[in-house]
């Protein structure tokens, strides 16, 4: 069997960044390169029904080899990397037996990962760390998840005496831009329950996430020569700033944690005559989520009364909801994951996701789908890293979950 490290290093060599401005699915053709590689690897293992469809979904089945009645269980990871940082030409650095000292990622750029800034590094002394070279992201989000699932699948295929139920595998595109399961065919996939391997630190298990919406605001100003603008000019930029400062200051990402939600301005562009703003709105409580959207609507009404009807236009689009509502009726899937993590010698770390996963949307598509760690840290940036031992444990947890269902 190929070592999980070799798989991971090979997968991150492919640039698979998704593109939020592309109308196609997958949003970038380069994702299909890795998807085709994964398809051929699955077939080479002897998984003969592996397919890749027109939308960029790889699906495969390892058939049950037991007479027990065991529900089909799915394992899912995404191939795309975040467009927030370059994923081209990734050159990982491998640090064996990490000694706890600062890690120089890129000397010429004076980019150093210091334990004083990232205290969790102390947890990994003695581990093998895989880091970036300080010029790109690493791609552990979510190629570590892919490596964990592929290694577990290979192990099952190489060891047919291990009894298991039907195992379903899927690799998806475009998760990072919120479109990862837009065309995912749950019925064709065929799993009754599933797990995304797309989490962070060792032991992490998540079955709660934000309710999420995107808000787009267009402001129409009125440009007049500034020397003669009194009582005539409407500066769209200033109106946008006014709107932003009417939102609660303590509900910004940098000031929130745990279950606390936020308004996050992601874009502000324009001129005196026209301006546009984009926000993401997040909260774990559905009632608070509704209140936040209502507040933004009320602010827009106020500004239109102040500056004239039609000055400010708001469009809010819900993106996903808290999967807890869909998972709690099937809580045994969380309990089995907890048992599997403990059986792998790991202390579970259960907390809400301050974000979302494909699993959140799949849970509302009648496929309950908690999220499990891969071991990575500092995703989406040049300081991303992953301990090899954590990724190995993630692969073990895949196998332990499969084992848990044979006990049913």
Residues labelled as active-site residues: 80, 175
- Dist. CA 392–CA 5, nearest whole Å: 9
- Dist. CA 406–CA 408, nearest whole Å: 5
Q: Which contiguous run of DSSP H or E holds residue 41?
A: helix 30-44
Only one residue has tokens 């202390």, namely 347
Distances (CA, A) of 327 to 290, 363, 404: 21, 7, 18
Q: Dihedral, CA atoms, 370, 372, 377, 378, nearest 10 degrees?
A: -20
Tokens of 94: 């491998």
Distances (CA, A) of 266 to 14, 244, 276, 355: 28, 12, 11, 15
Count CB atoms within 10 A of the CB of residue 317.
9
Provide the sign of the torsion angle of the four alpha carbons 42, 45, 193, 397, taken in this order.
Answer: negative
Distances (CA, A) of 117 to 113, 236, 253: 7, 39, 19
Cβ pair 379, 355 in contact under 8 A: no
Closest by CA to 81, choosing from 290, 386, 379, 338, is 379
Closest by CA to 399, choosing from 359, 330, 343, is 343
Q: Is 47 helix (H, G, I), strand (E, B) or coil?
A: coil
Vertex 75, ends 71 and 80: CA angle to 5°? 155
- Dist. CA 268–CA 277, nearest whole Å: 4
Vertex 365, ends 363 and 371: CA angle to 5°? 25
Vertex 203, ends 202 and 207: CA angle to 5°? 125
Q: Which contiguous run of DSSP H or E holds residue 384?
A: none
State the DSSP string of 98-136. Answer: --SS-EEEETTTTEEE-TTT-GGGGGGTTSPEEE--SSS
User: Counting every residue, how long is the chain?
Assistant: 408
């Amino acid at each position: 069997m190929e070592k999980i490290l070799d798989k991971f290093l090979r997968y991150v060599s492919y640039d698979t960044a998704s593109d939020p401005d592309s109308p196609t699915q997958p949003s970038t053709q380069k994702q299909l390169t890795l998807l085709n590689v994964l398809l051929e690897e699955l077939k080479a293992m002897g998984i003969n029904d592996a397919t890749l469809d027109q939308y960029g979904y790889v699906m495969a089945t390892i058939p049950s080899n037991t007479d027990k009645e065991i529900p089909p269980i799915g394992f899912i990871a995404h191939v795309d990397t975040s467009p927030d940082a370059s994923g081209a030409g990734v050159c990982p650095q491998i640090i064996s037996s990490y000694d706890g000292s600062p890690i120089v990622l890129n000397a010429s750029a004076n980019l150093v990962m210091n334990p004083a800034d990232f205290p969790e590094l102390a947890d990994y002394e003695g581990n093998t760390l895989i880091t970036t070279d300080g010029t790109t992201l690493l791609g552990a989000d979510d190629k570590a998840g892919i490596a964990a699932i592929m290694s577990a699948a290979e192990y099952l295929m190489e060891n047919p005496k291990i009894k298991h139920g039907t195992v379903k595998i899927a690799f998806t595109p475009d998760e990072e831009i919120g479109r990862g399961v837009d065309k995912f065919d749950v019925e064709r996939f065929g799993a009754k329950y599933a797990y995304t391997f797309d989490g962070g630190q060792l032991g992490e298990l998540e079955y709660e996430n934000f309710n999420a919406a995107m808000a787009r605001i267009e402001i129409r100003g009125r440009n007049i020569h500034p020397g003669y603008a009194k009582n005539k000019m409407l500066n769209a930029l200033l109106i946008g700033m006014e709107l932003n400062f009417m939102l609660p200051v303590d509900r910004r990402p940098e000031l929130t944690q745990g279950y606390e939600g936020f308004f996050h301005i992601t874009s502000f562009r324009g001129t005196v005559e026209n301006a546009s703003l984009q926000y993401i709105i997040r909260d774990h409580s559905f009632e608070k989520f509704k209140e936040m959207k209502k507040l933004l609507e009320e602010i827009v009404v106020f500004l239109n009364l102040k500056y004239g009807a039609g000055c400010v236009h708001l469009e809010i689009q819900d993106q996903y909801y808290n999967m807890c509502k869909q998972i709690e009726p099937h809580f045994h899937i969380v309990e089995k994951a907890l048992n599997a993590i403990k059986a792998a010698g790991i202390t579970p770390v259960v907390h809400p996701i301050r974000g979302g996963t494909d699993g959140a949307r799949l849970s509302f598509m009648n496929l309950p789908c908690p999220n499990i760690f891969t071991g990575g840290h500092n995703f989406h940036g040049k300081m991303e890293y992953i301990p090899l031992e954590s990724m190995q444990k993630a692969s073990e947890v895949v196998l332990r979950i499969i084992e848990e269902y044979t006990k049913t």
